[in-house]
Amino acid sequence: MSDVRVTIQRDSEREERVVTTGTTAAELFPGERTIVAARVGGELKDLAYELRDGETVEPVEISSEDGLNILRHSTAHVMAQAVQELHPEAKLGIGPPVKDGFYYDFDVEKPFTPEDLKAIEKRMQEIQKRGQKFSRRVVSDEDAREELADEPYKLELIGIKGSASSDDGADVEVGGGELTIYDNLDPKTGELCWKDLCRGPHLPTTRFIPAFKLMRNAAAYWRGSEKNPMLQRIYGTAWPTKDELKAHLEFLEEAAKRDHRKLGNELDLFSFPDEIGPGLAVFHPKGGVIRRAMEDYSRRRHEEEGYEFVYSPHATKGKLFEKSGHLDWYADGMYPPMQLDDGVDYYLKPMNCPMHNLIFDARGRSYRELPLRLFEFGTVYRYEKSGVVHGLTRSRGFTQDDAHIYCTREQMAEELDRTLTFVLNLLRDYGLTDFYLELSTKDPEKFVGSDDAWEEATETLRQVAEKQGLPLVPDPGGAAFYGPKISVQARDAIGRTWQMSTIQLDFNLPERFDLEYTGPDGSKQRPVMIHRALFGSIERFFAVLLEHYAGAFPVWLAPVQAVGIPIGDTHIPYLQEFAAKARKQGLRVDVDASSDRMQKKIRNQQKSKVPFMIIAGDEDMANGAVSFRYRDGSQENGIPVDEAIAKIAKAVEDRVQV
């Protein structure tokens, strides 16, 4: 046996070690059960990998991003084995790890029932306890086809070896240069228990799976295409400890309570009528009040910041989107054309920027007019597949708070800095305060413009972002082809991250539209163009705030800011006078004049998440006062009417939560 020299890399620490031929990665880390794989020469490997001379080995902890993916991928295999043991007729699709969990697709005659999932989970626990070994072996295409002859979907994957996409999860099976099969082996006899086509890597044994749970099942098209067969997908989650699994399930329970689709129905805010179609919402009166308050405040702040409001139509000739390039790049996401005016194609607009460019170009522009900040609440339409439509957060028709800024190159840095500061301050006004920034840079294979222009723009964005003092996360190659961008990522009340605002430089559209302004020396010059969507869309931001506040909006956004609760019917007129006086000051105040008993009225308003309840009885009427009841059940008595109205108005003005 000859010596093998390897380097163990742990963060910044390096250790040189001499081992013998045949030594595995696992032998470098004896007794360290939190290490589940190794990164060798930058490539993830099973711990059973035999080391070669000169290699650098990094341990992969189960709690790391790579470790979690391996844990969840291995758990998906265990689930697939359990399914085929209980349902031998099931054909295997794909089973990748995903955020916080995993899934596996199966072709079965009937959808899985809740009872089926319980049985599958029980069988998984049995397999986990057996401690089956995950064993990798390389196979030829011919051998793989022979071994998996009864698995038609695996046969299809073998045909795309090396070119599989991560979009549909196929790369976890055949994304490498060679085909491999993972065998699940009995730890005592070495007999084959189950096998699957897979790139790996995997955990050493099933006993390395500490905690898991199956969550739900759903229908899914094979590889995400509506042209392919419909399969049954089972989702699950797996974690390094039982405590982490418990915490995750509690998080999901809280998130379910906050689901904007659920709250939207319970609070009578919006709906998605079947008669209109998927992804197209109608806002009910209460939802309309919230939306108008959001838009009115945004409009006022934009005007203070020097933006000019514009309007553009919902449809336009297709030639405009040919000029902008949207028909080349985004045709699949657009609604089909309408043929009007003797065969001319018209499209519902997917974006507002081409029309804003026409406004800029409607007359000659001078450098003295720049920066020109155009803003629109522009409704756009994008044909999302019905399977990905999700309430207000992923819809087919939505209104963007869309701005396009035209400035000189000399103004670019100051304008970007001003824009990012404005964006963050406005989001804070709506109650989001925990941010980090993401800088998306050039994809070397797909960009327009010069390298120098990209470098200058990227460095300017970096300096602008760093000036905010927020964490800055790089997104290499994540920029659109026409320019780098900053994305504002916000965390909500339960720690979820939402992409909010984007600030995007564009080197493409000013060229396509031949936009020009007259410089100080009389020459024609090309403006710098900045795209900026602060909320992303009004609908999506509505959903984010609804979930962030769990429906209990701050007073200024609440659809009803206070409700009068009479102790008896004789007190209704007194509270109606109070409400009328408050409404004259622009406050949204109602009175519950129903026949319900007082305590039921209070419970109803608590469910409606009204900020204030104004209670009145005989003593209050005699003293010209009311009692204040808050969301938390606390109460203040004997507050004079004018003072009570001023109290509500102050809460609105200060945009406070109560």
Q: For 580-603, what is each residue's pLDDT tens digit?
A: 999 999 999 999 999 999 999 999
Q: Catalytic: which of 81, 154, 349, 353?
A: 353
Largest Cα separation within the chain, whole Å, is 101
Q: Over the stretch 145-196, which tens digit does the pLDDT of each residue have?
A: 999 999 999 999 998 865 555 555 566 667 567 899 999 999 999 999 999 9
User: Under a CB-based contact definition with an 8 Å cutoff, are residues 279 and 272 in contact?
Assistant: yes
CA angle 163, 164, 170 (to 5 degrees): 165
User: Under a CB-based contact definition with an 8 Å cutoff, are residues 363 and 500 in contact?
Assistant: no
Q: Catalytic: which of 213, 260, 373, 531?
A: 531
Residue 326 annotated among the catalytic residues of the structure: no
Alpha carbon distance 609, 552 (integer Å): 5
Q: Catalytic: which of 132, 400, 504, 561?
A: 400
> Hey, is 123 helix, strand or coil?
helix
Q: Catalytic: which of 233, 382, 571, 609?
A: 382
Residue 404 annotated among the catalytic residues of the structure: yes
| Cross-strand partners of 195 | 183
Both tokens of residue 484? Answer: 């780098």
Q: Catalytic: which of 161, 286, 326, 404?
A: 404
| Cross-strand partners of 136 | 182
Alpha carbon distance 560, 487 (integer Å): 33
**What is the b/e burial string over 568-599, where b = at least 16 CB atoms within 10 angstroms of the residue's CB?**
eeebbebbbebbeebeeeebbbbbbeeeeeee
Residue 531 annotated among the catalytic residues of the structure: yes
> Hey, is 562 helix, strand or coil?
strand
pTM of the model: 0.87
Both tokens of residue 524? Answer: 């024609």
Q: Over the stretch 596-625, which tens digit does the pLDDT of each residue have?
A: 999 999 999 999 999 999 999 999 999 999
pLDDT band of 49, cuts 50, 70, 90? very high
Residue 485 annotated among the catalytic residues of the structure: yes
Residue 353 annotated among the catalytic residues of the structure: yes
Q: List the end-to-end C-alpha distance of the chain, in Å, as a whole number.
A: 74
Instruction: Enumerate the H helices of 333-378 as residue ranges.
Output: 353-360
Q: Over the stretch 518-550, which tens digit does the pLDDT of each residue have?
A: 999 999 999 999 999 989 899 999 999 999 999
Alpha carbon distance 244, 133 (integer Å): 25
Phi first, then psi: give them for residue 348, nearest 5 degrees.
Answer: -65, 135
- What pLDDT is attached to residue 381? 95
Strand duo 517-518 + 3-10: pairing: unpaired
Q: Catalytic: which of 291, 485, 540, 609?
A: 485
Q: Catalytic: which of 402, 506, 592, 620?
A: 402
Both tokens of residue 74? Answer: 């291995």
Q: What percent of the chain is predicted at pLDDT more than 90?
A: 87
Q: Over the stretch 60-111, which tens digit does the pLDDT of each residue have?
A: 999 999 999 999 999 999 999 999 999 999 999 999 999 999 999 999 999 9
CA angle 551, 552, 556 (to 5 degrees): 115
Q: Examine residue 210 and say whether the peptide bond preceding it is cis (omega within 30 degrees of 0).
A: no
Which domains, and CATH codes, for the chain?
A: 3-61 (3.10.20.30), 65-251 (3.30.980.10), 270-314+349-548 (3.30.930.10), 562-653 (3.40.50.800)
> Hey, is 505 helix, strand or coil?
strand
